[in-house]
Chains A and B, each alone.
Chain A
Amino acid sequence: MSHSVLKSPLGWLAGNPIWGFIALIFIFFSFANPYFFALQNFQNILVQTSTIGVIALGMTLVMINGNIDLSVGAVVALAASLCVDIQGWSLFADWGNWAILPGVVAALLAGTALGALNGLIVWKTGVDAFIVTLGAMLGVRGLVFVYTKEQSFFAMNFSFSDFGSSSIGPIPTLAALFLICTAIVHFVLSRTVHGRNTYAVGGNRSAAVNAGIRVGPHMMINFMIVGFLAALAGVTLSSQMGAATPNLGTNYELWVITSVVLGGTKLKGGAGTITGTLGGVLAIGILRNGMNLMQVPAFYVLVILGSILIAVLLLDKQLNRKGKEELRL
């Protein structure tokens, strides 16, 4: 990702085919459905993608590191449950709207702590992140059920859910939050030392170790970031709903990983960008929204989403072929 080399627009598109794809489906749905091209619908799309999107930002860091976090869906459920339950505790009964605060703080802390735990295990044991977080995906979901005893929570205080549907000017608050997070993570990844080390650790771990980068703590920080962002997504999601259920976030890890990969991040690590991830998230959001508006039957939605996923991968492969002289491996 040589930040200095100026690329032609076409070259840029070849490197980020996802934005071309977005343009395509955008035009398609605009013509195919009368309700698609409307300001309010765009707001909806942004709000709806913000949940997956916020997590995907953190996941991009972790995946550029060459790791992965499968536990994010469960963390969403845990954070949402904590956030909604704690703000209803009688302890905070006379705090008014401030009662929301301890809930949010507890949720974010829990997410960050679980991220730290994942990171610590990956660092200290040397077990592959896929395995560590696959375990955590089950385990954290177990924690959610232990905590909630299978119950759903629901926020008595409607200002919590009002926040979820409020707007700052024309932009819904949750969408704004998502865009701000995107800008921050983009800055961190492309401009800061931590961000550049993220590429180094993922690109060649032993090189990073030899260069004296403290790879363990570094990876742990990224796991904490994704944990924090997953918890944040849990908070925003629960404020959208004004409620939390223990099953919340099921399969989110799959959608998050899918969007990140669609956005061009390599599963092996070492390469990827936040702009790409934003594209991946939007692509899935627009597809889902468009198909909803067009009333594509649920069964076909599954087939279409699956096929598109594979098609984008194929397209990417075609665009990035090195030509006929390539080694036939």
Chain B
Amino acid sequence: EKIKIGITQNNVGVDSYQTTYEKAFKAAAAADPNVDVVVLDAGGDVARQIAQIQDLTQQKVQAIIIWPTNGKAVVPAVRKAHEAGIPVVITNSNIAKEGMPYIAAFSGPNNIEQGKEAADMMCKALNNKGDIVQIAGKPGYTTAIEREKGFEDELAKACPEVKIMDTQPGDWNREKSQRVMEDFLVKYPKIDGVYAADDNMGVGALNAAKAAGRAKDIKFIGATNFAVGYEAMAKGEYYGSVYQSPVDDAENALKTAIDVVEGKKVPKMNYFKTPEITQENMKQFTKPVF
């Protein structure tokens, strides 16, 4: 008898990370002869995700993995799945703390922690002093909110003399971020650093600064290291990022879910490592495939 596990993902195709995650997830499932998976995608829509959780319950899967489109909004749905006797594993970005009693485990990176790491890098890059701007993710999404919060809190604590002059959303979109940065460059004659909530947007900001001839004066720090970010780092144009492998993320989630179904003991918060990556230590990491 095979174990049947369902997953509803956030928004496949919106960026390479999620696409690679899905591929890795399917590959990992195919490699295990004992599991059968139902792979769904919420397309970024909370309501659709909740419908999918209902559909998965309807199909009587043995565990549901959820990549929340929104950490708060899925809590009641998670509770219901929990009450229906189906264990829930949250992947990639965590749900709000009110939902914690209803989940079997969380598997993924720590986005708040990532924001902190980025803040620490920023302090170091600027020698604890300077004026920076922030390009956030798509408004209203948990990952965006958590990274922003982690970054801002840590920055205020670690190096209060680094000031965030402005924050605007880049919607996880390189072109949008490029436009935002162009406006920043006009508005602020002096920008010492840019924090972007992912490398895709970070490189967009870098593009804009290069076009304005100001890239040399600015430190760029991103998150979720993308191939473009890795390359820019190799060229010395990009200061650093946070390394996060979607393959680790996916495999970790599947393994956690299997363990839960098989009744093994799993830690509730099952973080995988997301180390800092900078120009100095990048040799230790393979170039991301996405």
Direct contact of A and B (CB under 8 A): yes
Contacts from A to B (Cβ < 8 Å): 35, 38, 40-41, 44, 47-48, 51, 145, 148, 150-156, 158, 161, 164-165, 237, 240-251, 288-289, 292-293, 295, 298-299
A35 to B, closest residue via Cβ: B59
Complex CA gap A51/B54 in Å reads 15
Indicate whether A165 sits within 8 Å of B80 (C-beta atoms), given known contacts A51-B47, A154-B96, A154-B98.
yes
Shortest C-beta distance, A96 to chain B (Å), equals 18
Which stretch in B139-147, B178-186, B223-231 binds the other chain?
B139-147
Interfacial chain B residues near A41, Cβ < 8 Å = 55, 58
Complex CA gap A40/B76 in Å reads 19
Interfacial chain B residues near A245, Cβ < 8 Å = 46, 69-70, 72-73, 140
Complex CA gap A251/B12 in Å reads 17
Shortest C-beta distance, A231 to chain B (Å), equals 15
- B13 on the A face (CB < 8 A): yes
Complex CA gap A247/B14 in Å reads 16
B142 to A, closest residue via Cβ: A152
Contacts A154-B96, A242-B77 supplied; 8 other A-B pairs, CB < 8 Å: A145-B140, A150-B145, A241-B73, A241-B77, A249-B47, A289-B51, A292-B51, A298-B43
Shortest C-beta distance, B86 to chain A (Å), equals 14
Shortest C-beta distance, A37 to chain B (Å), equals 12
**A150 & B140 in contact (Cβ 8 Å cutoff):** yes
Indicate whether A155 sits within 8 Å of B58 (C-beta atoms), given known contacts A48-B51, A248-B46, A295-B40.
no
The answer, among B40, B44, B69, B79, for a CB contact under 8 Å with A292, is: B40
Shortest C-beta distance, B123 to chain A (Å), equals 25
Shortest C-beta distance, B93 to chain A (Å), equals 12
Complex CA gap A170/B12 in Å reads 35
Complex CA gap A47/B48 in Å reads 12
Interfacial chain A residues near B55, Cβ < 8 Å = 41, 44, 289, 292-293
Interfacial chain A residues near B79, Cβ < 8 Å = 158, 161, 242
Interfacial chain B residues near A145, Cβ < 8 Å = 139-140
**B51 & A242 in contact (Cβ 8 Å cutoff):** no
Interfacial chain A residues near B59, Cβ < 8 Å = 35, 293
The answer, among A35, A288, A295, for a CB contact under 8 Å with B39, is: A295
- B274 on the A face (CB < 8 A): no
Shortest C-beta distance, A272 to chain B (Å), equals 26
Shortest C-beta distance, A46 to chain B (Å), equals 11
**B72 & A154 in contact (Cβ 8 Å cutoff):** yes
Complex CA gap A240/B141 in Å reads 19
Interfacial chain B residues near A161, Cβ < 8 Å = 76, 79-80
- B266 on the A face (CB < 8 A): no
Q: Which of B38, B45, B46 has the most CB of A within 10 A?
A: B46
Shortest C-beta distance, B121 to chain A (Å), equals 25
Shortest C-beta distance, A133 to chain B (Å), equals 21
Shortest C-beta distance, B74 to chain A (Å), equals 7
B18-56 contacts to A (CB < 8 Å): 38-41, 43-47, 50-52, 54-55
Shortest C-beta distance, B5 to chain A (Å), equals 13
Indicate whether A299 sits within 8 Å of B13 (C-beta atoms), given known contacts A44-B58, A247-B140.
yes
Indicate whether A38 sits within 8 Å of B75 (C-beta atoms), given known contacts A51-B47, A240-B47, A295-B40.
no
The answer, among A244, A251, A299, for a CB contact under 8 Å with B73, is: A244
- B71 on the A face (CB < 8 A): yes
B48 to A, closest residue via Cβ: A288
Complex CA gap A246/B139 in Å reads 8
Shortest C-beta distance, A76 to chain B (Å), equals 9
Interfacial chain B residues near A47, Cβ < 8 Å = 54
Interfacial chain B residues near A48, Cβ < 8 Å = 51, 54
B125-169 contacts to A (CB < 8 Å): 138-141, 145
Complex CA gap A144/B5 in Å reads 36
Q: Mark B104-130, 1 if CB is under 8 A from A, else 0.
A: 000000000000000000000000000
B56 to A, closest residue via Cβ: A292
**B71 & A242 in contact (Cβ 8 Å cutoff):** no
**B50 & A240 in contact (Cβ 8 Å cutoff):** yes
A49 to B, closest residue via Cβ: B51
What are 23 A-B pairs at a CB distance below 8 A?
A41-B55, A44-B54, A44-B55, A154-B76, A155-B76, A161-B80, A165-B80, A240-B50, A241-B50, A242-B75, A243-B76, A245-B69, A245-B70, A245-B72, A248-B47, A248-B73, A251-B45, A289-B51, A292-B40, A292-B52, A295-B40, A298-B41, A299-B12
B156-212 contacts to A (CB < 8 Å): none
A292 to B, closest residue via Cβ: B55
Complex CA gap A220/B87 in Å reads 49
Q: Considering the complex of A and B, which 7 residue pairs feature the smallest CB-CB distances, nearest first?
A: A242-B76, A243-B73, A161-B76, A298-B41, A152-B72, A154-B72, A247-B140
Interfacial chain A residues near B76, Cβ < 8 Å = 154-155, 158, 161, 164, 241-243
Interfacial chain B residues near A148, Cβ < 8 Å = 140
**B47 & A152 in contact (Cβ 8 Å cutoff):** no
